[in-house]
A and B are shown apart, each in its own frame.
Chain A
Amino acid sequence: MRLSRLSRTTLGLVTGLILLVVYVPLLVVLVNSFSTSTSLTWPPPGLTLEWWGRAFRSAGALEAVGTSVQVAIVSTIISLVLGTLISLALQRFEFFGREAISLLIILPIALPGIITGIALNNFFRTIMGVPLSIWTVVIAHATFCIVTVFNNVIARLRRLGTNLEEASADLGAGVWTTFRLVTFPQLRSALLAGGLLAFALSFDEIIVTTFTAGSGVTTLPIFILNNMFRPSQAPIVAVIAVVLVLVSILPIYIAQRLSGSEQRR
């Protein structure tokens, strides 16, 4: 198949156009965060730095960031451990029910968040009689974060093979020593990439969170949702949005570097 110059250019233009449309809304938010209008008017009637100052002094916003970071860190750690264990099991062993388990891992993201949310809400409140708290959020987040770790680690394990581990065992290293000194160092960048994704997923999650968060627990997405429709707070939400996008560039860059360096290897 030879694509003519015309069709190549057309494809390139279509791609460029779609990506442009993808970025316009984000740019609008950037501009709105400097706008003197509180009602999302375009073009902005004037520019001000007031919202940026207020956002960084807003106790509610800062507290919400803290809560989100805590939830994301704990659920990332849990999903790293569980995701690594399960990818080792599925990659290194053949056993009955293997397919079912891999379906089970993707289910929390294949089913809509509202299903996971209401199922856990029902489980905690009605069945277990546990009041919703920050820990119920962590449990819920860890459940759907396992898959991102799993995907990264299992892809790495597939490529690694078992030669080095067998050599280590032949040289007398025990199971744990082999994991610590041979397997783990080779998994490190996959774990970092998977962990970053898990962190981002948890940090941004709103639907499952609304169903599993106790009344006093305000993660950043909950804070945004509560303040989005208040005219005096809307520009502050825009500021938070811009900061989030800017902050997220760093992990994308790292994750990209990690997977890029793997492809070249």
Chain B
Amino acid sequence: MTSTPAELRPRRTAARAGSVFLSTHPRARLALLLSAPLFWLGLVYIVALVLLLVTAFWSVDSFTGQISQTWTLDNILTVITGSLYQTVTLRTLGVALLVTLIDVALALPIAFYMAKVATPRMQRILVIAVLTPLWASYLVKAYAWRSVLSQDGILEWLVAPFGGHTPGYGLPATIITLAYLWLPYVILPIYAGLERVPDSLLEASGDLGGKTWSTLRLVVFPLALPAIIAGTIFSFSLSLGDYITVNIVGGANQMLGNLVYTNVGAANNLPLASAIALIPIVIIFGYLFLVRRTGALDNL
């Protein structure tokens, strides 16, 4: 037996020592892995969100336009009691709910067909077909609907011979466009959720005499529910904050996002904008809190 030649022995460098320390101290390894991302997310995101909350209690000096850091409830009260904010909040909430309903109604048959009926080859094609519009720019798609819905657009051209008319620009157009924009985000989690429902369960239900509808209602639906809720989180949350689509196809209508946007930009009143922004935050945290027990958050 000869001893290990020197060049094969591990070199005693600082790097080596660090590596030995790390491999024997898993906690140090964890701390090293976590520090950079947590620093980033903590500083950039959490601190920013908390400060947004704080800013909502500050005010703007009407003469200088500077933010004065004295505590006041004015902005919060304005937002809660102002009829403009109530109307816009209800409108935004209504739009977000309708968009979500439409998307789920459209996504369920597609996702079910993709997951349980289509052949593997067809399945791959459909996944690509659903994903491709997702990669087309958000603005491009909103713009496309602007052109589809315009007074001399393709929709008017298609339905005019049958006595129909395009809805033009307004809230219906906003709902259609938002539902269109978020549809892939709703289809994909539901499809993934349905794929995880084992075929054997469907067969067992059939063998036990379950008709198609009762199998869907009693077996498929409860198992797919977390995935469906995961999909609704996307469409609901994305609709609540949107202000660009409503600018493009919504005519003169305003949503919460528009109020936030004007107060950041033209009105230069960040404290009021922050207070308005708290409305969707509260609604979404409320929704996340409601659905947290369904396991939907693991399906995002």
Q: Which residues of A contact B (CB under 8 A)?
A: 1-4, 7-8, 11-12, 14-15, 18-19, 22-26, 28-29, 32, 39-43, 81-83, 85-86, 88-89, 93, 95, 101, 103-108, 110-116, 118-123, 125-127, 139-140, 142-143, 146, 169, 172, 174-177, 200, 204, 206-207, 210-211, 220-221, 224-225, 228, 237-238, 240-241, 244-245, 248-249, 251-252, 256, 260
Contacts and interface: CB of A to CB of B under 8 A. Distances in A.
A13 B288 CA distance: 35
B51 interface: yes
Contacts of B26: 93
Interface in B109-162: 109-110, 112-114, 117-118, 124, 126-133, 135-141, 143-148, 150, 152-154, 156-157
B203 interface: yes
A15 B109 contact: yes
Contact of A228 (B130, B138, B139, B210): B139
A176 B19 contact: yes
Nearest to B210: A1
A42 B157 contact: yes
B74 interface: no
Main secondary structure of the interface of B (DSSP, over half): helix
Interface of B: 10, 15-16, 19-20, 22-23, 26, 29-30, 33-34, 36-38, 40-41, 44-49, 51-52, 55, 67, 106, 109-110, 112-114, 117-118, 124, 126-133, 135-141, 143-148, 150, 152-154, 156-157, 180, 183, 202-203, 205-206, 210, 212, 215-216, 219, 233, 237-238, 240-244, 248, 256-257, 260-261, 264, 270, 273-274, 277, 280-281, 284, 288, 297, 300
Contact of B20 (A23, A43, A88, A174): A174
B297 to A, nearest CB: 7
Contacts of B110: 14-15, 18-19
A227 B33 CA distance: 44
A261 B45 CA distance: 35
Given A114-B241, A127-B51, A26 B136 contact: yes
6 contacts: A3-B117, A41-B152, A93-B33, A114-B261, A118-B260, A244-B137
Contacts of A3: 117, 212
A40 B147 contact: yes
A123 B47 contact: yes
Nearest to A94: B30
A11 B194 CA distance: 15
Contacts of A101: 34, 38
A241 B140 contact: yes
Contacts of A4: 212
B52 A252 contact: no
- Ranked nearest first, the 10 interchain pairs of A and B with the lowest CB-CB distance are A112-B241, A174-B19, A25-B144, A248-B135, A123-B48, A241-B140, A40-B147, A89-B33, A1-B215, A114-B241
Contacts of B20: 174
Contacts of B23: 169, 174-175
Given A104-B45, A207-B243, 6 more contacts: A25-B141, A106-B300, A112-B241, A241-B137, A248-B135, A248-B136
Nearest to A173: B19
Given A25-B148, A169-B23, A174-B15, A225 B244 contact: yes
A174 B10 CA distance: 10
Contact of B274 (A22, A122, A251): A122
A88 B66 CA distance: 44
A224 B261 contact: no
Given A11-B109, A252-B128, A111 B237 contact: yes
Contacts of B48: 119-120, 122-123
A18 B33 CA distance: 45
Contacts of B41: 82, 104-105, 143, 146
Given A29-B140, A93-B30, A121-B264, A40 B146 contact: yes
A251 B135 CA distance: 9
A116 B37 CA distance: 17
Contact of A143 (B44, B156, B300): B44
A19 to B, nearest CB: 5
Nearest to A222: B139
Contacts of A114: 241-243, 256-257, 260-261, 277, 280
A255 B168 CA distance: 38
Given A119-B52, A122-B52, A241-B137, A11 B202 contact: no
Contacts of A104: 41, 45-46
Contacts of A18: 106, 109-110
Contacts of A12: 113, 117-118
Given A120-B44, A176-B19, A245 B280 contact: no
A37 to B, nearest CB: 9
B148 A252 contact: no
B180 A25 contact: yes
